[in-house]
Amino acid sequence: MVFVEGTKESIQGALAVFDTFAEWSGLTISIAKSTLYLAGFSENEMNNILSNFPFAKGDLPVRYLGLPLMTKVMRKQDYFPLVEKIRELKAMGAKVAWSVICQTNKEGGLGIRDLKVVNKVNVLKLIWRLFSGKSLWGKWIEANLLKRKCFWEIREKTQVGSWMWRKMLRMRDVARRFHMRELGNGRHISFWFDNWCEKGVMFSLLGEHGIVSMGISREATVEEAVMCVRRRRSHRS
């Protein structure tokens, strides 16, 4: 069932969408089996619309999916036959697996993207934007949520920020595999939490004990860590 404004242009727009859907999916609607229901139109307006489109004319009220379609507000008793039918239905599994539907058209599916995968990609893209650009959104994150801390060291179970921010934090293990910092002068790279060393992330390798053993603070950049080691040559390295 498709609702349109009732003008010639709106009906043409709906048919154009059907044509695009047919090209994409291979499924074509049957105009001969389609019925047009009009409400609130004069006789001349109805005749004008019907003369431009090959639809059969239907009269309200009519039942659709067990419910009457009418121009008035439905009452409780109008819903009763559908409610009773639902109570008698037995639960049945899906006839086609979602994994099959998400396959490409050539593979026999509909080419629909898996929503879990789409959500994961969108969250990873937000993390990428946070590191790759200087957008207003990124600056707000740095000022209000990071507060001079590294993205990788923020605790996952935090009440600060939106649900999307907490989702980004939960995706860090996946994002870290695709993130590598170019060392440069090390002035803006976290010694412990950024992935700048070929051996991996320092904190993942050494943990909290490593911070104490090496005498390098959690907030230290690579530049500060190098200077710290030079000043304290007697400290274990």
Residue 117 predicted with pLDDT over 80: yes
- The pLDDT value recorded for residue 78 is 78
Domain regions of the chain by residue span: 8-95, 115-231
As a whole-number percent, the residues of the chain with pLDDT over 90 amount to 1
- Dump pLDDT digits (tens) for 141-154: 888 888 877 788 78
Helix (H) or strand (E) holding 138: helix 136-141
Is the omega angle on the peptide bond into residue 61 within 30 degrees of 0, that is, cis?
Answer: yes
8 Å CB contact between 145 and 159: no
8 Å CB contact between 173 and 204: no
Confidence of residue 14 (pLDDT cuts 50, 70, 90): confident
Provide CB contacts within 8 A for 28, sequence distance 6+. Answer: 18, 22
Higher pLDDT, 74 or 140: 140
Structure-token match 């239907």, residue found:
58
Confidence of residue 209 (pLDDT cuts 50, 70, 90): confident
Q: Nearest Cα to 69, choosing from 92, 42, 37, 101?
A: 37
**Burial level of 107, CB count in 10 A (0-12/13-18/19+)?**
exposed
Cα distance between residue 44 and residue 41, in whole Å = 8
Q: What is the mean pLDDT of residues 12-39?
A: 85
Which pTM value belongs to this model? 0.46
R_g over Cα of the chain: 31
- Dump pLDDT digits (tens) for 56-97: 888 777 777 777 777 778 788 878 877 877 777 666 666 778
Confidence of residue 106 (pLDDT cuts 50, 70, 90): confident
